[in-house]
Amino acid sequence: DTAVSQTPKYLVTQMGNDKSIKCEQNLGHDTMYWYKQDSKKFLKIMFSYNNKELIINETVPNRFSPKSPDKAHLNLHINSLELGDSAVYFCASSPLAGVNEQFFGPGTRLTVL
Amino acid sequence: AQSVTQPDIHITVSEGASLELRCNYSYGATPYLFWYVQSPGQGLQLLLKYFSGDTLVQGIKGFEAEFKRSQSSFNLRKPSVHWSDAAEYFCAVGLREAGNMLTFGGGTRLMVKP
C-alpha cells in the first residue's frame, strides 16, 4: 500500500485557471506538508498542517490554499495559475510528536502554459 | 534564519569508489538533520537522520553520515558506490519550533561512471 499518494501525477493547464492537487496518507500521521520543487530541484516548504494549526510560509502567495477535509488528507488549491507556478509539488506527512522524519509522496508535476 | 548548504551541485564517481557528499547548516542550536535521496521522477526517500546521541549514524543502502558540531556539518558517506546510487541527494534541517518544517539544501546530483 502506498503510504503517501498524490493525484494527479501530471497536470497541464492554462494560465488563469484554478486547479487542485490531492494528497492522502494512510500512515495515521497527524501532520502533513506541501513542498514546491522548482526547475533547479530546489525544495521549499509551503505549508505545515496538523489538523488544528496551519503554519503558512509567508513567501507563499495567497493564491495557494491548503484544504484538509480530515487528518488523512491535505489538498492544495491554486487560484489564477501563473507561469511561475510550474513546478513539482510534493506532499509529505509525519507523526505529530516533535521533529520526525517526513514521508513524501511521489510528486505532482504542474505545467502552466 | 536557518540555512543548509550543499557546496557540490554535481559529483561524478566511478562505480566501486568511495563517496562523500557535503552538507553545512547554519542554525543557532543543534538541529535535527536528515539526508534524503530522490531518484529521477520519484519522490524523496529518507536515507538517515540525526536527532541526538552517537554522531555517526547509519542509514539504508549502506550510507552513513557524521554530525560534526564544530564544523556545522553533516556529511554523507558510502564506502563503495553502486550504479543504482545515481540520484539527487538532499540534506535537510528540521526545526521543532517551525512546526517541524524541513529546510533543504540545494541538492547534489550524483553520477556514477561504470
Domains of chain B, first to last: 3-113 (2.60.40.10)
Query: A98 pLDDT exceeds 80?
Result: no
Judged by a CB distance cut-off of 8 A, whether residue A52 touches chain B is no
DSSP A97: S
Residue of B nearest to A100 (CA): B100
Name which of A2-6, A20-24, A48-52, B3-7 the model is least confident about: A48-52
Contact (CB<8Å) B36/A106: no
Q: Would you call B96 and A45 a contact, using CB atoms and an 8 Å cutoff? A: no
| Residue pointed to by grid coordinates 507561469 | A83
- CA-CA-CA-CA torsion sign (A106, A97, B102, B69): negative
pLDDT at site B12: 97
Residue A57: C-alpha distances to residues A28, A44, A46, A65, B95 (Å) = 24, 9, 5, 11, 14
Would you state the pLDDT for residue B99? 64
Q: Are A47 and A57 in contact (CB under 8 A)?
A: yes
The H-assigned helical ranges of chain A are: none
State whether residue A95 sits within 8 Å of chain B by CB: no
C-alpha cell at B41: 521522477
Q: Are A71 and A51 in contact, with CB atoms under 8 Å apart?
A: yes
Biggest CA-to-CA distance, chain A:
41
pLDDT class of A100 with cuts at 50, 70, 90: confident
Q: A103 touching B, CB under 8 A?
A: yes
Which residues from chain A sit within 8 angstroms of residue B42, using beta carbons? 106-107
pLDDT (tens digit per residue) in B38-64: 998 888 999 999 988 899 999 999 999
B17 to chain A, closest Cα gap in Å:
26
CB count, 10 Å around CB of B71?
10
Nearest-neighbour CA in chain A from B36: distance (Å): 10
The CATH homologous superfamily for domain A4-112 is Immunoglobulins (2.60.40.10)
Asked if A43 is an interface residue toward chain B (Cβ–Cβ < 8 A), one would say yes
Average pLDDT over residues B8-24: 97
Asked if A104 is an interface residue toward chain B (Cβ–Cβ < 8 A), one would say yes
Q: What gap in Å lies between CA B43 and CA A93, rounded to an integer?
A: 13
- A43-59: per-residue pLDDT in tens? 998 988 887 678 777 78
Report the mean per-residue pLDDT for chain B: 91
Chain A CB contacts of B51 below 8 Å? 99
Residue ranges per structural domain of chain A: 4-112
A34 touches chain B (CB under 8 A): no
Let me know: does A8 contact A21? Beta carbons within 8 Å: yes
Question: What whole-number distance in Å separates Cα of residue B63 and Cα of residue B2?
Answer: 25
Q: How big is the A-B interface in CB pairs under 8 Å?
A: 63
Interface check for A97 against chain B (CB to CB < 8 A): the answer is: no
In this model, does residue B100 exceed pLDDT 80? no
Q: What angle is formed at CA B28 by the lines to CA B37 and CA B90, rounded to 5 degrees?
A: 10
Nearest Cα of chain A lies from the Cα of B88 at a distance, in angstroms, of 9
CA-to-CA distance for B93 and B89, rounded, in angstroms? 14
C-alpha to C-alpha distance for A20 and A92, rounded to whole angstroms: 16
pLDDT at A65: 92
